[in-house]
Amino acid sequence: MTTALVYDPIFLEHITPRRHPERPERLQRAMAVLEALGWLQREGLVLLSPREASEDELALAHDRLYIRSVRAAAERAAREAAAGGRVSHFFAPETFVSGRSYEAAAKAAGAGLTAIDALFKGEIDNAYCLVRPPGHHAEYDEALGFCLFNNVAIAARYAIERYGLERVMIIDFDVHHGNGTQNIFYRDPRVLYFSTHQAPFYPGTGRSDELGEGEGLGTTINVPLPATTGFETYEPVFRQVMAPAADRFQPQLILVSAGFDAHWKDPLANMYLSTAGFAQLIMIIIELAKYLCDGRLIMIQEGGYDLQANAACVATSINLLLGDDAAVDSLGPPPEKAFRINTDVLIAELRRIHKLTGYRMRNAPRPDIARLRREVKGPEAESAASDPASSNGRRTDGSH
């Protein structure tokens, strides 16, 4: 197994104000943990430097005037910093630029393209793009929520345009809904967007009845979840909603918006996933990629604002992509919960909304009916089923 880690120190040059949660230390700590583990020299891990996405490539998901406005804002910030002024400047809600922000954002978008090129040339099996600024809130013509360019959306469109793919799936488990990603593909049947997120929460989008429009109707799947939701709900959602939806869609590539702010230690959210819980969810995705698209899987960093938790989740993701099954977890399980949501009702309603009721994955093993009878009714059920006298005259073919 060959895994690419796509990273560039330029990502540390996107400077945000002091105490801003989206800070360079997020990536510095992750790289430090990988170095401490000795994994940057690990067999099977390939370090790739991302190229800068061109304006034409950024325009796969963004308005050209908007792209140029980001570049101009960064150039103004560079001139002011050189004159002894402020380094970081407000650009959009929660979003700032500094002198090298355009270069960093263009390479963050280019990281996914670099990984896709390597993947389709057969040089790697999968990839993790350790990038900032993040991307999934960035709209077609607007920055939002720490994001300048929508890295995962640009990657999806690039895979479609450059390599002729017909179906790409984006799985977004960041704690915030990826409004930008959803809106960019809301009418596009070639991209299945699946999101789990805390609700009600920023940015206020991602209702379960947002399904797509026009030709894209049915290719948006949102799973809004209440605060303190943990693995006991995420796991069945992934297995019983995400997996069959993916099976029905049959993606040729899976992209992941890998935000780790649903971790119980994250300061910006209130969800109860642990590093080990994230590991189990990522393993589901890895197995799904193997089953559906020859393992073609690229993870792209989004949120995650507790430095220790985010670094552990990044290291865990890379370990899993390399074929191991262990989590790098020193933080342990989340606190005890005061209540649990009714997961069975949630799953049933999501499957109803997305027309998955009764859907069975194509190559799933058929159930062992005799074993199920024994488990439900006891050992006598099997012998009773084989005894004609116990059938009260009713034949198994339905006649009387």
For residue range 31-53, what is the model confidence (pLDDT) as tens digits? 999 999 999 999 999 999 999 99
Sequence-distant (6+) residues with CB within 8 A of 75 are 99, 102
Give residue 32's region: left, alpha or beta (phi > 0; psi -120 to 50).
alpha
Mean pLDDT over residues 315-337, rounded?
A: 96
d(CA 43, CA 203): 41
d(CA 68, CA 47): 30
What is the residue type of 45? L
Q: How many CA atoms lie within 13 A of 305 on its CB side?
A: 19
Question: When comparing pLDDT for 189 and 365, which is higher?
Answer: 189
Query: Mean pLDDT score of the chain, rounded to an integer?
Result: 93
pLDDT digits (tens, 9 = 90+) for 256-293: 999 999 999 999 999 999 999 999 999 999 999 999 99
The pLDDT of residue 85? 96
How would residue 371 be classed by pLDDT, with cut points 50, 70 and 90?
A: low
The pLDDT of residue 370? 67
Mean pLDDT over residues 364-390, rounded?
A: 54
DSSP string across 4-47: EEE--GGGGG----TT-SS-THHHHHHHHHHHHHTGGG-TTEEE
Catalytic annotation on 137?
A: yes
Percent pLDDT > 90 in the chain is 88
pLDDT score of 392 more than 50 = no
90: β partners? 96
Phi first, then psi, for residue 5 (nearest 5°) are: -105, 115
pLDDT score of 397 more than 70 = no
Give the burial string for 293-314 (b: 16+ CB within 10 Å, else e): bebbbbbbbbbbbbbebbbbbb
Tokens of 85: 């002024």
SS3 77: helix
> Choosing from 62, 136, 137, 354, which is the catalytic residue?
137
53-57, 68-72, 378-382: which range is least confident on average?
378-382
Tokens of 364: 């799933």
How would residue 337 be classed by pLDDT, with cut points 50, 70 and 90?
A: confident
